[in-house]
Amino acid sequence: MAKNMKTITSILLALLVPLTTVAGECPPAPNTIEKAINEHIQKIRASEYCPARSIQSQNDTIIAVYTAEGECGEDKETPPGACSVNWVRYMVGSLNGKIIGPVIVGGKGGLADNEIKIKGNIVELVGLTIGPNDALCCPSVPSSKRFGFSENGFKEIKP
């Protein structure tokens, strides 16, 4: 009986996960950024929550921050994106046409960013973090993270 329930659950998840991906269209991104995001999502066996994708560009620099949900990693039996209730924010960029990243920039219990600022070779993500009286769902403390970047990748700048 338990095996049948697991099979039924797996089938239902396999049907529902692609529907959630189609339901929210991702903001358009240049092909190189789109490819980098899709390859990363497939590699970690997650699904992208498209409405949360942010893209900012300045001169020859493009920065994208996106959300991966339900990462399955090495679990090959469960459909991608159905392995947890966790979400992680990643950042990927294109600098003079070269892809850099991805790097983890926030997620559940961490920074919930809502703005990308690019100044020179520094990107700042502005948003909210969990305060002492906040529920995990509902950050309220203004916060930001800064990352230096070059063609070698991103490096967080600690305060």
The per-residue pLDDT for 94 is 95
Q: Where are the beta strands (DSSP E) in the chain?
A: 47-48, 54-58, 61-69, 87-95, 98-107, 112-119, 122-129, 141-150, 153-157
Question: What is the per-residue pLDDT for 2?
Answer: 47
- Domain with 23 in it: 2-157
Q: What is the pLDDT of residues 32-56, one digit of tens each?
A: 999 999 999 999 999 999 999 999 9
Work out the pLDDT band at 8, boundaries 50, 70, 90: very low
Query: What is the model's pLDDT at position 85?
Result: 84
Q: pLDDT tens across 89-144, in order?
A: 999 999 988 999 999 999 888 999 999 999 999 999 999 999 999 998 899 999 99
Supply the pLDDT for residue 74.
87
pLDDT at 11: 42
Structure tokens at 47: 């699904």
| Number of domains forming the structure of the chain | 1
* Distances from the Cα of 158 to the Cα of 34, 86, 143, 144, 148, angstroms: 29, 25, 13, 11, 10
Q: What is the pLDDT of residue 137?
A: 85
Question: Residue 18's pLDDT is what?
Answer: 43
The amino acid at 49? Y
* CA pair distance 41, 34, nearest whole angstrom: 11
> Tokens for 58?
């300045």
Among candidates 127, 125, 150, 149, which has minimal Cα distance to 140? 127
Its pTM stands at 0.81
